[in-house]
Structure 1
């Protein structure tokens, strides 16, 4: 197959088929939120709605931005989080008051699901018995304790900052992924962490939840938060879940989701069947269709971003390479973009363009500029002046000089930069799952939330395979575009 045919086939595969979703259902990146969002999604699909899932969005701020930007229509939230983080009115306690405050933001809080999922401070049972710790107040004066907390809890006002002030604690704390904290506790690598009171891991991890003896934590009633794009009939359907899940039921659902042989979709479906809300659960799907969908979306993100970066990076580099000042300024700006952490850049895109593929493509495009621009400008500067003099002697125009002399000589280095950018794109695109862009990052994010290594590998191994295929693809492109005696110049020394 020729390179042109291969490229055309790749673009066709990436384009896929688009469908218009009636309802966008989102979730945060922890087990319970996945389950609740999937329950709502399956219930809506059973009633005839087309649902777009945006699962695993990284934290309250990101998913809230997705809601207000209409990138999603609804997601599971908690009243304590709404008052403390979204509304910033911690004095609100009554449900009617919370709903009235949300109405000013054109948001609607549906009826609570029936359980309170508060934060709690947890320590190992053996450690608690040995040190006689039963209350949060008992942590005062124990400066040697190793504290690791979920990243959001470490920063949010109703989390660790407020708790330490309320209880007069002086313990230093570091961040840890929520699902990994249980393993760290089991291996005695940390002494104290924060958990959700309905976590399934609590039952099997031998943890003691410390008494909130000074009454710091508010109630966190679970309910779905919706915006104006939510169809009224869809809101009524999700409203039928109200009062059906108590604390014990939610903890049991969370615990079942920890079984590697059971998917979140199966947990959600079994709940809906048991409640008589759907007739029967769908047959368990194989990994291959989902793998193909994830790979297709991952390639789409990567290919679009890379093509845009090639056009902009090579185009601008060729335009400014004759001027040292402009060249250095362009490289400085693209280099500065590389210093922004990937997840931070993705998050910064959300207020501007929402969540999903668009912010992911923009972020990947920005990350791809530096290797392409640097290799192009370096290659142009490395061309001996003699070649330019020959072109001038032949009365070539600037465009002819660029086409017939400069670009052919620079091509090996330009391709090396594009190859590097492609590999960066493939790796960074896995993080796009945190903002609902999908791709091979989806199983990785879900696997991190569930502490499931098999799910993580479902994303990591194909991503590594794509990187290898990228090397082979650009090898074929090099054989097509570069004359044989110059190909070795494109290899790193």
Structure 2
């Protein structure tokens, strides 16, 4: 009894413990740097603050802030007006602040720089074709456009831009921002969308084409945060407001350059900036070693894989048994889980965000759905492949259907069932890396960071352990398959 009471008290204390404040950031260097600055200001104010890097795109972060899943993140006024709150038709910062307040969100003073969109090409391309303005692209429809997926879909993005300038290129490819730069350098794309404070513009000698129509609005950097923080963490908010006007465009470009060209961790960049500004109180966050990162992401990845696999096996194997016993029902079951398997993996992750928020929960739900088909089909096929004379013999000695299933059919089908579990496990280990796109962590986190920072070693730190984990899982289940074969059949199998 005392033990139960102690456990109950412990669970209640854990449940009631206040979670740390969470700062989110988007999938590009500048947002991560700004997120780190916000985090260090919070730590300097004595608050318990963690930074969830590469949490997602604009809509994901904004919705997470509205829902209270995160507490603050860096954003841009143009994105708020033209995309996130486009239906409100907001003009001026005062209207923007008022609209955000209705959602329980506050906005800091502008940080001091305007990171607007631009359209860019290689200097060689600009000189060869005489490109000076965006309108000049109209005469060259054969150029290949490599635009970020978010820019293609945004209300202030490609759709309206192409209409405004009457652009009709033959090929427009959607891709991740850093990969677009790689494609531009490799010559596989000719035109990309830029952020005006990107270090790559100078590093790669790119030309930002003139926006003659003034299509792109101002994108002043700000920090959005839950309005309750003014009461809960007043010291932190005072520091955020003091940050207003302290980061000009040249300072932001310099910080972006350090992350991109010098491969400096964003926490060090933020610490150096704040240390140079004596009016702001901050506390540096320590950069992880690769060993610490590996240990942390391994725990996260194993968790992301183990939970859906256990739940999936508990659901899929009984469904497979039922499918084998009732063929028509089996067709329906296989069709349903088969359709779920055809949903693109990233889309499946995003589908669960409105229901489960951001982080591990939607990733686990998506992985659960994704792992069902191989286990259902292998269970159904394994039971269906049992020779009928063996089934008849079991009936002849008086075994009930339930007893026959446990004693005869499942042992004989065990190898096929385990083969399906093994296939699901390997698929799930690979698919789980995509969970990093929605803040679930795991081996996908260093992969995303490596892509963002053009750092191959970071990509390997995520890809290699994921591959190793898949190989270990495959080897384990192959051994288990041999052990699962009934002893009497092992001699036949060897013979």
Note whether the superposition's TM-score is higher than 0.5: yes
CA distance in 1, matches of 2:50, 2:391: 55
Unaligned runs of 5+ in 2: 1-13
CA distance in 2, matches of 1:279, 1:108: 21
CA distance in 2, matches of 1:51, 1:21: 9
The Cα of 1:104 is off from its aligned counterpart by 2.1
Q: Match for residue 13 of structure 1?
A: none
Unaligned runs of 5+ in 1: 1-16
CA distance in 1, matches of 2:101, 2:317: 49
Task: Give the one of 48, 61, 64 matched to 1:63.
Answer: 61
Alignment of 1:390-409 (within 5 A): 390-409=393-412
Change (3 A) 1:228 1:354: farther
The Cα of 1:215 is off from its aligned counterpart by 0.8
CA distance in 2, matches of 1:296, 1:270: 31
Alignment of 1:16-31 (within 5 A): 21-31=19-29
The Cα of 1:329 is off from its aligned counterpart by 0.6
Task: Give the one of 346, 359, 367 matched to 1:343.
Answer: 346
CA distance in 2, matches of 1:300, 1:70: 24
Q: Match for residue 472 of structure 1?
A: 475
Alignment of 1:77-88 (within 5 A): 77-88=75-86
Change (3 A) 1:187 1:478: closer
Residue 241 in structure 1 maps to residue 261 in structure 2: no
Q: Which has the higher contact order (CA 8 A, sep 6+)?
A: 1
> What TM-score do the two structures reach when normalised by structure 2?
0.91
CA distance in 2, matches of 1:325, 1:209: 61
CA distance in 1, matches of 2:119, 2:111: 24
SS in 1 for 2:434: helix
**C-alpha contact 1:260 1:452 (8 A) present in aligned 2:** no
CA distance in 2, matches of 1:26, 1:206: 31
Q: Match for residue 435 of structure 2?
A: 432
The Cα of 1:132 is off from its aligned counterpart by 2.1
Change (3 A) 1:465 1:330: same
Change (3 A) 1:296 1:38: same
The Cα of 1:72 is off from its aligned counterpart by 1.2
CA distance in 1, matches of 2:52, 2:213: 38
The Cα of 1:480 is off from its aligned counterpart by 4.3
CA distance in 2, matches of 1:46, 1:384: 71
CA distance in 1, matches of 2:470, 2:116: 42
Instruction: Pick which of 239-248 and 426-435 moved more.
Output: 239-248
Alignment of 1:83-94 (within 5 A): 83-89=81-87, 91-94=89-92
Alignment of 1:7-156 (within 5 A): 21-89=19-87, 91-156=89-154
What's the Cα RMSD here? 2.2
Task: Give the one of 328, 331, 334 matched to 1:331.
Answer: 334
Instruction: Pick which of 183-192 and 434-443 moved more.
Output: 183-192
SS in 2 for 1:67: helix
Q: Match for residue 276 of structure 2?
A: 274
Change (3 A) 1:32 1:415: same
SS in 1 for 2:214: coil
The Cα of 1:261 is off from its aligned counterpart by 4.1
CA distance in 2, matches of 1:489, 1:225: 68
CA distance in 2, matches of 1:369, 1:160: 38
CA distance in 2, matches of 1:490, 1:31: 56
Alignment of 1:245-256 (within 5 A): 245-256=247-258
**C-alpha contact 1:342 1:428 (8 A) present in aligned 2:** yes
Instruction: Pick which of 453-462 and 130-139 moved more.
Output: 130-139
Q: Match for residue 368 of structure 1?
A: 371
Instruction: Pick which of 105-114 and 84-93 moved more.
Output: 84-93
Residue 358 in structure 1 maps to residue 356 in structure 2: no
Residue 161 in structure 1 maps to residue 159 in structure 2: yes
The Cα of 1:35 is off from its aligned counterpart by 0.9
Change (3 A) 1:417 1:171: same
The Cα of 1:283 is off from its aligned counterpart by 5.5
Deviations 1:27-61 (A, max 9, x none): 11111111111221222223332234332133222
CA distance in 2, matches of 1:487, 1:156: 61
The Cα of 1:160 is off from its aligned counterpart by 0.8
**C-alpha contact 2:313 2:375 (8 A) present in aligned 1:** yes
**C-alpha contact 1:445 1:456 (8 A) present in aligned 2:** yes
Change (3 A) 1:229 1:456: farther
**C-alpha contact 2:133 2:212 (8 A) present in aligned 1:** yes
**C-alpha contact 1:412 1:490 (8 A) present in aligned 2:** no
Residue 189 in structure 1 maps to residue 192 in structure 2: no
The Cα of 1:85 is off from its aligned counterpart by 1.1
